[in-house]
Amino acid sequence: MGGVKVVRRLAVASITIDRPGARNALNLEAMAALDAALAEVAGWDVHAVFIRGTGDRAFVSGGDLKELESVRDEDFALGMARRMRATLDRIPALPMPVVAIVNGHAIGGGAEVAIACDYRLAADDVKIGFTQATLGLMPAWGGIERLVQAIGRGRALHLLTTGRTIDAGEAKAIGLFEEVVPRADFETRVEALAAELAQVPLPALAGIKRAADAALPYARPELAGNATADFARAWAAEAHWEAMDRAQQRRRG
């Protein structure tokens, strides 16, 4: 389904970004498929939803710039940002916990997918970075407010404004990852977590999530307008495309 696989195994639904040739980057088709997958599992009586990438190199490496960079139009960027923000806002609306299974690096938009989940289980050799600033952009899918909520304003601004990438140990230390396990034990721990959640009755899981969201809302739709408009202006600005050119030159060099 457009680079996204959805399977149900016992009490857990797994949504896998399946574009290994592009480091699981999201093109427009995969973005739409992720939205459809989240809508589909909303009607399942599963106890949890796991979101991950294929392989062990990348969780999600952001938007697929090979496709997206062909359009420099502000309206295109605004529409894309609105759609992906709405897609990730589906996660806190799901009644069951949604866990980011961070099997590989989560970069740029991939970090936004990870922080949109209710909590994160990561392998100890992965890195995460809200790197949009290094390309003259900003997170536009709800990642800014979610990161501030997760790790505090100062730490969030430090990561967001520098575009710094951090390792799993540091991410856990600041509260960005809830659990980090050795790579050799990663899949075993994923299976164990699925078994743990399967033992908790779904009404209890749903009630816990509702109460947590009431105490501290995890989606801020009232912030969407300004955030997506600011992203679209940054996307169309010459500074963004100059930063993109520099990044491509570094990769080629």
3-state secondary structure 189-242: HHHHHHHHHHCCCHHHHHHHHHHHHHHCCCCCHHHHHHHHHHHHHHHHCHHHHH
Average of pLDDT values for 70-95?
Answer: 92
Q: Is the pLDDT of residue 65 over 80?
A: no
- Dig out the tokens for 170 from the structure: 């540091």
pLDDT, one tens digit per residue, over 150-161 is 999 999 999 999
pLDDT, one tens digit per residue, over 122-141 is 999 999 999 999 999 999 99
Q: Is the pLDDT of residue 50 over 70?
A: yes
Give percent above pLDDT 90 in the chain. Answer: 81
Contact 99, 49 (CB under 8 A): yes
Average of pLDDT values for 220-236?
Answer: 88
Q: Is the pLDDT of residue 253 over 70?
A: no
CATH superfamily of this structure's domain 4-183? 2-enoyl-CoA Hydratase; Chain A, domain 1 (3.90.226.10)
> Cα–Cα distance between 197 and 135 in angstroms, integer?
39
Residue 71 confidence (pLDDT) = 78
> Cα–Cα distance between 119 and 96 in angstroms, integer?
12
Average of pLDDT values for 40-63?
Answer: 95
> Cα–Cα distance between 149 and 135 in angstroms, integer?
24
Q: Residue 237: what are its φ and ψ, rounded to 5°?
A: -70, 145
Average of pLDDT values for 73-87?
Answer: 94
DSSP, collapsed to helix, strand or coil, labels residue 60 as strand
Residue 222 confidence (pLDDT) = 82
Number of Cβ atoms within 10 Å of the Cβ of 149: 15
pLDDT, one tens digit per residue, over 189-227 is 999 999 999 999 999 999 999 999 998 887 788 888 898
